[in-house]
Structure formats: C-alpha cells, structure tokens
Chains A and B, each alone.
Chain A
Amino acid sequence: DSGVTQTPKHLITATGQRVTLRCSPRSGDLSVYWYQQSLDQGLQFLIQYYNGEERAKGNILERFSAQQFPDLHSELNLSSLELGDSALYFCASSVGPTGLTYEQYFGPGTRLTVT
C-alpha cells in the first residue's frame, strides 16, 4: 500500500458526460501527479500540482482540468467524454516539487470506461 488513495475504483459513463476523479496523497506529500494509462498510448503524464499550484503540464487535453485543494487532495475533471478517454487514471504523490529528487508513490488507479 503506497498510502495514495484514489476514488472511485471504477467508473462507467456515457460519451459527452463529465466525471471527477479524486486523489488523496500520502501524508506529508505536497506534489500530486496525474497520469493516463491506455492500451494504445501507454502511460502518459498529464499534469502536476505542488502545494496547490500547477507546476508542470504534459499531454493533457483541453477538455481535462485538475486542481489541488488546500488540504492537498486533488481532483481531475474530464468533460465531454469520448470513447478514447477510456483508460486507467493514476495519481502519484511526492514530498517535493520535482520528480528528480523525490520518489513518486502511485495510487491504485481509477478505471474509466466510456460507453
């Protein structure tokens, strides 16, 4: 158990809908990272927040947004969902602001199925 929690475990929704995925980092970790793992694209970095501020952005679509709240939990919002958004979404956390020095701990993931 990494100490990172993600809810829900599974989500099934229809195209065009909007969903919110939630992540609670390990106690004491200030950074939260979001990743998308799909069969055709592999594991892709989406976005990172550090202590409430956006720190790095990867291949995140404009239909997706995220935020980190004062209690350090984070939410990833996915809107106007398409079939291709079906994937496993991972959250990871680390103590510091960069992945260079500070190990990332991954949550178990949320499996999103868009029908």
Chain B
Amino acid sequence: GDSVTQMEGPVTLSEEAFLTINCTYTATGYPSLFWYVQYPGEGLQLLLKATKADDKGSNKGFEATYRKETTSFHLEKGSVQVSDSAVYFCALIGDTGNQFYFGTGTSLTVIP
C-alpha cells in the first residue's frame, strides 16, 4: 500500500544553518505530495505541496521538489530561524484523493 518514510529526528540546528529533512514515498499511480508543519500546541498547517513530477513546492523559504525517479520529496531551507522550530510531516495522497498517508514526523529545534 501507499506509505511515506521520513527521516528520524530529532534534529537540532543552529540559527542560519541549512536544513534538509528527507522524505521518500511508496505509491501506485501519481500521488500528490505535501509537507505539513505542527507548531507546539497547534494543529498541522500546510507548508507546501507538489502535485506532479518535477514540481517544486515552496513557502516561507522552504522548498521541496517532487522526484519521481527517486520517489522522494525532501524538504530544504537555506537558513533556518528559531521560529522554524516545529515538527514537520511529509504526506501523500493517492490519485483517488481519498486518503492521506503521513510520515512519522521530524522534530526540528533551532537554537540561537
């Protein structure tokens, strides 16, 4: 069945460091891929998405490219801030559009 595997955390970085959180997926057909962010005490918020191969999603300095050849959707940011500290979830939805599959989440802490 469909699934998402993402990098184990927690990840601790200094402010202005480069961030990569790896995400790979297994799916039949042509899924859409998402990154969600969960700040402490809050629900998930959509960070970015890509709906077809080679699409790049971007938002708030974060970006991820849908790579069908490597079945990956890695999240990157060039210079993280303390305010980026949160849990990041990679997710996919299959082309039926009926069910989301989430990764286990990666906790990021950015220290000043």
- Enumerate chain A interface residues (CB-CB to B < 8 A): 2, 4, 33, 42-45, 48, 55-56, 58, 90, 92, 97-101, 103-104, 106-109
Q: Knowing A2-B43, A100-B32, A106-B44 are in contact, say whether A45-B97 is a contact too (CB < 8 A).
A: no
Q: Does the CB pair B43–A55 fall under 8 Å?
A: no
Does B105 reach chain A (CB closer than 8 Å)? yes
Specify the main secondary structure of chain A where it touches its partner.
loop
Query: 3 closest Cβ contacts across the A-B interface?
Result: A98-B97, A106-B43, A100-B97
Contact of B44 among A90, A100, A101 (CB under 8 A): A90
Main secondary structure of the interface of B (DSSP, over half): loop
Nearest CB in chain B: distance from A77 CB, A: 21
Which residues in B have some Cβ–Cβ distance to A below 8 Å?
32, 41-46, 51, 89, 93, 95-105
Given known pairs A98-B98, A100-B93, A101-B97, the reply for A42 and B43 (CB within 8 Å) is no
Interface centre among A55, A56, A101, A104 (most CB of B within 10 A): A104
Asked if A90 and B97 make an inter-chain contact with CB atoms under 8 angstroms apart, the answer reads no
Contact between chains at B97 and A106 (CB < 8 Å) = no
Residue from B46, B97, B99, B102 within 8 A of A42 (CB atoms): B102
